[in-house]
Amino acid sequence: MDWYCISDPTLWVNLETYVIRKETMFSPQSFIAILSHFSAQSEGSRDFYDFIEFQYNSTVFDKVSTHELITLLYSYY
């Protein structure tokens, strides 16, 4: 989001809340891409990362590729 020079301080919070509330709309690959962007910007609350961890412990990421799994784990930590 910094790429677009958006200065709204609540942007990340609103985006995070939307992703958590609409979890059934996103594919596992979308979750990985969103997490990757959050991580690259040093954004995301503990709740968001807990949400991703819960998704990881469930069956959401069972069928992702090795590259996607590495991206997920790298972004999480």
Show the domain range for 38: 10-76
Answer whether residue 40 is part of any domain. yes
Please give the tally of structural domains in the chain.
1
Any domain includes 23: yes
pLDDT in tens, 17-35: 988 999 889 999 999 998 8
Q: How far apart are CA 72 and CA 7, in angstroms?
A: 27
Contacts of 11 (CB under 8 A, 6+ apart): 1
3: in domain: no
d(CA 46, CA 48): 5
Task: Write down the pLDDT at residue 27.
Answer: 93
**CA–CA gap between residue 32 and residue 38 (Å, rounded):** 10
Position 42 in a domain: yes
What pLDDT, on the 0 to 100 scale, is given for residue 6? 66
For the segment 46-75, what is each residue's pLDDT rounded down to a tens digit?
A: 888 899 999 999 989 999 999 998 998 888
- Contact of 28 with 61, CB cutoff 8 Å: yes
pTM (2 d.p.)? 0.80
The pLDDT score that the predictor gives to residue 2 is: 53
